[in-house]
Copies of this chain bind each other. A is one copy, B any other.
C-alpha cells in the first residue's frame, strides 16, 4: 500500500466569496485550462411550518467522509481529463445566504469540467457522511434531508 496524503475538504463555518476568488486567481498560471466549472451551495431560509431556517449546523464523520471523497476524486480524475479539482464543505454553523459548499473543476475544454463538477456534487451529497441540522429562528431545529 502506498503512502497517500488524503486531502481535507472541511472548513469551519461559511465559505467566503473572497476565498473563492483567491482560488480562481491561483489558476491563472495554469494556461492549459480553458474552462472552469463551479458549484456553490447556499443555505436557504426555508419556511417550515411557519418558521424560517436561520442557519444550518453541519457535522460530519470526517475520517470516513475524507476517505469517500478521495475515492470520488480518483474516480472522477480517471473518468474526465481534468486539470484540477477542489472541494470545500463547511462544518459548524452556516447562516442563511452564506455558502456551505464549493466544488471547482477545471479542464482544457469546457465539457469535462462541467460534467465532472456536477458528478462530484451529486456523489458528495449521496456518499459523504455529512449531516445538516436546520436551525430555526426560535432555536428549535430539524434534520435536513437531501433530495
Contact = CB atoms under 8 A, between A and B. Distances in A.
Number of identical protomers = 2
A25 B30 contact: no
Contact of A42 (B22, B35, B42): B35
A38 interface: yes
A38 B37 contact: yes
Interface residues of A, number: 39
Contacts of A130: none
A110 B41 contact: yes
Interface in A47-65: none
Interface of A: 17-18, 20-22, 24-25, 27-45, 96-99, 106, 108-110, 114, 117-118, 121, 147
